[in-house]
Structure 1
Amino acid sequence: MRILLINPYQTYYRVKLEGQPMFDEPLGLGYLASYLINHDYEVRILDTLAIENVNVEQDGDYFNYGMKKKDIKRAIKAYNPDIVGITSMYTLHSKAVHDIAKIVKEVKNILVVVGGSHASILPSWILSDKNIDLVVIGEGEETFLDIVKHLEKGRSMTKIPGTAIRKKGKVKINKPRPFIKDIDSIPLPARHLLPMNLYLNDWYRQRMAMKPPRANMITSRGCLFNCVFCSIHSVWQHSWRGRSPESVVDEIEILVKKYGAKEIAFQDDNVSLNRNRMESICDLIIERKLNIRWCTPNGIAIWTLDKKLIDKMKKSGCYKLTFGIETGCLETQKFVRKTQINLKKAKKIIKYCNKKGMWTHSAFIIGFPYETLEQIRETINYAISTDLDMVTFWIATPYPGTDLYNVCKKENLLPTGNMLEWMAAVDKAACNTKHLTAEKIQELRN
């Protein structure tokens, strides 16, 4: 049984980049591959985004960045898999997922399975494409293994937990599969199947590192919070599971000794939720004298930090923290559901991090449905008033699977036209609010 796992290229709607987009190791596919290998299956990973030289293919109003379609077809033919799994994590990938599924079916009638957050949120939409046979909803390892076993034994796949499937022309969503309780039991990502030299030498990513080469890893799954703009609960529900400090630092040691990494980027959604665990990770890094630098580009919950933890983080090699403060307006904070952030205390934490020699960055979001011009200016003024080294302003976008989408739908604020198009138009205001036009929000952001 041959299994091919594919990471799609990126598509941009009416946006042509000046160079190659940044690409990271598809760790989700790496975990899935190692889990399948652990059950004695033959697996390959095809990362169509990780290529040495920039390649752009124009496809109507879309620009595709990554491997050429003809090369993808050639790779599929050469491996001749029995089943293909495609990850659909982000909006940017969604068109590419359907393109690749079509390419697979052009090779031969291979079973095509799509998983990831985008697929978990919109399984019926994904399955409207007849080139896609199954969708994995939520955590993928046990469900995909179950699919492979059913295929191997010729069993019906209509009732596999954690999947969606077409049956008699309609989409059938099966009962959810329970999460794996002990995520330490999942083998580390199969990085030997990935072109690690490309990730570790990607100029765009490595230029942001203090001590390149920088490698990525994930130490936990999920988040207990319920931000209005976030879709994570559609995949992980309101749960959080952390790997043991020993498992985390063992992986860091492998990245340092086997792959030559000198910096680690923790890509968790909420790496410091368990403060004791975070302290223990820092202690082990120090104890093993790994001499690394590390950062949190995906964000860290500022309300979980105190001076003691910051001191340990600094000593263990942390040099940059990215916070998700999101807004400086108390009214907007209530709508966003981030009232656990004390804005005055946040300023003190930022000041202390800077005092310890750490770089600080925070993301802010403007353009929520009920936000006024004055409230947006309050957020901008708050950002300016902090000691943050860098701030990034994003525009609130009502992605499916978020409560923000539901609010915008209720208030008739959803953009008209092709959903794929407005979701793929990065850095653009997608819709009006109750008080401001999309053009005004774009102007404020710029």
Structure 2
Amino acid sequence: MITLILPPDRWNDMRFPVGILSISSVLSRNGYENVVLDSKLLDGTDKNPDDLILENLRKTSSMIVGLSSYIHEQVYVAKIAKKIKELNKEIFVMVGGPQPTVAPEFYLKSGVDLVVRGEGEETIIPIIEEIKGSRDFEKINGVSFIRNGEVFSTPSAPMIKDLNILPLPAYDSSNIKHYARISSRVIRGVPLKTASIMTSRGCPFSCTYCMGKLITGKKVRFRSPELIYEEVKLLRDSFGFEAIYFLDDTLSVSKDYVKNICLIMKELGMLWGAQERVNTVSASNLRDMAKSGCVQLDFGIESGSNRVLNEIAKKNITVEQSLSSQRLVKSFGIRTFSNFMIGFPTETRKEMGDTFKLAKKIKSDEYIFAILMPIPGTPIWDMVNPDIPPDRMSEMNFFGGELVDLYNRSEVKNLERVRTKFTNSLYIRSRFRKLLFYPRFLFKLSKKNFSRLPNRIVIDLLYEINLAKGQMIYTLKNIKPLRKAVRSIKRNLYKRSY
């Protein structure tokens, strides 16, 4: 038995863990029995997730464990790997995902046996065969391990050329009841039963803060329309999903491919959303998108300064394109979700102000203002060169926190307060736009005979309450006297603990 563990930090996420489910599917196709541990372990119990994971390993006597890790999970994954080794030191523990790919040393020095770098579907079977055999991992590309007391990395494995050879993700191995619920957190702000899938891998762009291309490369590889049709139909017919969110870095990097997606979604009667770029959308594609059920497109606007966009972020877009693309999308009745970022190296107060002015101008339906968080392996990380201990890496946060000052290289101090001010100023406007959207949305649902309209409204209302609560917490945190009081309490508690 092989056990694949999704870190508990993601158990409440409403988007499928596509990477782990894809590995599970490859293992099953090659005859290896495996189980995915996720939020289904919580069913009917209030036990600690770590205890549940270890209890499951005892029951199954699993001797091979695979973990996935993002940067914010780095410390947790090292901790649970140590606990697994304490349970049975013979259990072979391997880790894959974005953060292990760029920083394998931390995991290996924490007791992990093997790090899988990059895409894992073609690597996993040779790894399993070596674990069961001579354990000569040097002949496998794309792995790192300890050799003679030192971290040793084999050459990177090539990207998977033909994605069509991969089986569909093992959706039935996940907690499908959790993911197949009505939620406003997949296509954000829209209450639907939404599944998340990936139709392509790779990104041809060179954004300095993004690590996506470090995992999937710059060359875009597409899955066939026939496979996409099969996957979407399975999710609709077998699990009751009503909508799809496409996880591709940029869906319309190929306009012909988008047309095929639109034909599939229209034929299957599904609503959908996707990630887009301001310089790849076109009127012809948007017309097809709107007719095929597209309800929202997510954009990385990032900044209102052309200097920041192109000299620092290397996005190769302009403020003018951001404005015109949003108007164009809205003219076809499609909602927009806009991501903004402050805290770029050398960014001035005026440039941050220009970002806020742009956010007001584009009148997006949903916003996120984030603080630049440098990720190891990206050009921004090298530019910022933050002095952050590896065991504190998990504390980095897009919304603030104690480590921000260690990597803030902008000309503005207290980015958390600036971010809160910008977000609060736009909050009421975006909620008002959502009220205007609702009649059209409910009409669209009634035309498709989607049921449980009252439930959707209640679920979305809870989403809005949580959103408002989050805004209030960040606002209170940034009131100066309260901030000082909280720090004083923390200092006193720290002193008493020693």
Shorter-chain TM band: 0.7 to 0.9
Structure 2 CA distance for partners of 1:401 and 1:377, relative to 1, 3 Å? same
Q: Output aligned runs, 1:199-278, within 5 Å.
A: 199-201=179-181, 205=185, 208=188, 210=190, 212-278=192-258
Q: Output aligned runs, 1:277-356, within 5 Å.
A: 277-286=257-266, 288=267, 290-296=268-274, 299-356=275-332
Structure 2 counterpart of 1:121: 102
Does the 8 Å contact 1:228/1:336 carry over to 2? yes
Structure 2 CA distance for partners of 1:435 and 1:137, relative to 1, 3 Å? closer
Are positions 1:361 and 2:317 aligned together?
no
Structure 2 counterpart of 1:436: 411
Distance 2:329 2:45 in 1: 38
TM-superposed deviation, 1:339 = 4.8
Does the 8 Å contact 2:195/2:241 carry over to 1? yes
Does the 8 Å contact 2:98/2:118 carry over to 1? yes
The residue type paired with residue 370 of structure 2 is W
Distance 1:394 1:443 in 2: 12
Structure 2 counterpart of 1:16: none
How many residue pairs end up in the alignment? 417
Secondary structure at the counterpart of residue 404 of structure 2? coil
Distance 1:54 1:366 in 2: 41
Structure 2 counterpart of 1:92: 72
Distance 2:410 2:21 in 1: 45
Does the 8 Å contact 2:181/2:193 carry over to 1? yes
- For residues 8-36 of structure 1, give each alpha carbon's deviation from its aligned partner in whole angstroms, at most 9, with x where no partner exists: 1129xxxxxxxx85343211111111111
The residue type paired with residue 246 of structure 1 is E
TM-superposed deviation, 1:81 = 1.5
Does the 8 Å contact 1:371/1:435 carry over to 2? yes
Structure 2 CA distance for partners of 1:139 and 1:284, relative to 1, 3 Å? same
Structure 2 CA distance for partners of 1:310 and 1:162, relative to 1, 3 Å? same
Of Structure 1 and Structure 2, the greater strand share is in 1
Distance 2:118 2:360 in 1: 39
Distance 1:182 1:421 in 2: 34
Structure 2 counterpart of 1:5: 4
Q: Output aligned runs, 1:118-197, within 5 Å.
A: 118-130=99-111, 132-197=112-177
Distance 1:206 1:223 in 2: 21
Structure 2 counterpart of 1:14: none
How does the TM-score come out when normalised to structure 1?
0.87
Does the 8 Å contact 2:4/2:66 carry over to 1? yes
Secondary structure at the counterpart of residue 10 of structure 1? helix
Structure 2 CA distance for partners of 1:214 and 1:417, relative to 1, 3 Å? closer
Of Structure 1 and Structure 2, the greater helix share is in 2
Structure 2 counterpart of 1:61: none
1:419 to 377, 380, 392: 392
Distance 1:51 1:115 in 2: 24
Structure 2 CA distance for partners of 1:374 and 1:218, relative to 1, 3 Å? same
Does the 8 Å contact 2:14/2:178 carry over to 1? no
Secondary structure at the counterpart of residue 285 of structure 1? helix
Residue ranges of structure 2 left out of the alignment (5+ in a row): 421-498
Does the 8 Å contact 2:5/2:67 carry over to 1? yes
Structure 2 counterpart of 1:103: 83
Structure 2 CA distance for partners of 1:384 and 1:192, relative to 1, 3 Å? same
Does the 8 Å contact 1:162/1:174 carry over to 2? yes
Structure 2 counterpart of 1:374: 350
Residue ranges of structure 1 left out of the alignment (5+ in a row): 12-19, 58-66
Structure 2 CA distance for partners of 1:49 and 1:126, relative to 1, 3 Å? farther
Structure 2 CA distance for partners of 1:339 and 1:95, relative to 1, 3 Å? closer
- For residues 42-72 of structure 1, give each alpha carbon's deviation from its aligned partner in whole angstroms, at most 9, with x where no partner exists: 11111158745896x9xxxxxxxxx522111
- For residues 229-279 of structure 1, give each alpha carbon's deviation from its aligned partner in whole angstroms, at most 9, with x where no partner exists: 111232223222111222112211111011100011111222221111111
Distance 2:131 2:381 in 1: 36
TM-superposed deviation, 1:129 = 0.8
Secondary structure at the counterpart of residue 101 of structure 2? helix
TM-superposed deviation, 1:183 = 0.2
Structure 2 counterpart of 1:76: 57
Structure 2 CA distance for partners of 1:355 and 1:237, relative to 1, 3 Å? closer
Structure 2 CA distance for partners of 1:370 and 1:415, relative to 1, 3 Å? farther
Q: CA RMSD in A?
A: 2.4
Instruction: Give 1 or 2 for the bigger CA radius of gyration.
Output: 2
Bigger mean CA deviation after superposition, 348-357 or 372-381: 348-357
How does the TM-score come out when normalised to structure 2?
0.78
Structure 1 counterpart of 2:18: 27
The residue type paired with residue 141 of structure 1 is E
Does the 8 Å contact 2:371/2:399 carry over to 1? no
The residue type paired with residue 321 of structure 2 is K
Distance 2:177 2:392 in 1: 36
Bigger mean CA deviation after superposition, 230-239 or 273-282: 230-239
